[in-house]
Amino acid sequence: MRDRRLAANPARGTSLPRKRRGEQVFLTHEQVDRLATAAGEHGTLVLLLAYTGMRWGEATELRVRDLDLLRRPARINLVRNAVRAGGEVVVGTTKSHRGRTIPIPASLVEPLARACDGKARDELIFTNTAGGYLRPNKWFAAACRDAGIPRITPHGLRHVCAGLAVQSGASVKVMQSMLGHRSAAMTLDTYASLFADDVDDVDDVAARMDAARRLSS
């Protein structure tokens, strides 16, 4: 098409096969702590990913100015995402093209403050030894092995966050806001298995509706 050798794109309108989702791995709080300990100097980043649901590119593009650690609860103002393409890092908007504000668990405020110590407002918080964008390379896989947990990817910590959030009673709308999904339907579609226990609640609702109908009759 670009070379003007074809008048029309023969692939236009072709239905592509659905992209298969990888297996979701969920960890307990104790497993997350072991992973963070095994990650050593990257432990704070591991905890941040597991307890905020940020994407890897969002977390590694975080700068000191994006944190509001004096607010209670402390907050992350998330507006950018760093994506590696062709060996270079391209910084743009978040995947949903909308910024979001994420609460920081109180236990992470002090470690994040230490990570920011001595850095200017515009500097990256999590960097490699040269001060550039951090990559998981081999250290993340090694941390999973040393922690004795199922092997996951940094992105898999988003699933971990979702699982821990549901255990804590988070609703679909809360998870949508935290994870930066475009819609609650997308969140529910992605994590439907986490709400499997709600089937009994649906049965209870049906029974209560039937009981109310009988009373009204």
Output the domain CATH number for residue 142. Answer: 1.10.443.10
Provide long-range contacts, Cβ within 8 A and 24+ apart, for 67-72: 67/104, 67/112, 67/116, 67/125, 69/104, 69/109, 69/112, 69/113, 69/116
Q: Could you report the average pLDDT of every consecutive run of 10 residues in the chain (217 residues)? A: 86 74 80 96 95 92 95 90 88 82 90 96 95 92 96 91 84 82 79 62 56 67
Number of domains comprising the chain: 1
CA atoms within 13 A on the CB side of 217: 6
Q: Is the dihedral of CA 43, 34, 83, 80 positive or negative?
A: negative
**Cα-based torsion angle of the residue sequence 55, 82, 101, 38 in order, rounded to the nearest 10 degrees:** 40
Give the pLDDT score at 18: 65
Which residue range forms the structural domain that includes residue 159? 42-192
State the Cα angle at 160 between 187 and 150, rounded to 5°: 135
Asked, for residue 149, whether it belongs to a domain, the answer is yes
Q: Is 72 among the domain residues?
A: yes
Residues in contact with 163: Cβ distance below 8 Å, sequence separation at least 6, in sequence order = 26, 27, 194
Residue 25 in domain: no
128 within a domain of the structure (yes/no): yes
Whether residue 74 lies inside any domain: the answer is yes
State residue 124's pLDDT score: 96
Does any domain span residue 204? no
Q: Are strands 88-92 and 100-103 parallel, antiparallel or unpaired?
A: unpaired
- Is pTM, for the whole model, over 0.75? yes
Does residue 197 sit within a domain?
no
Taking the C-alpha atoms of residue 203 and residue 207, their distance in angstroms, rounded to an integer, is: 6
The pLDDT score that the predictor gives to residue 168 is 81
Q: What pLDDT, on the 0 to 100 scale, is given for residue 133?
A: 94
Does 29 fall in a domain? Answer: no
CA 197 to chain centre: 23
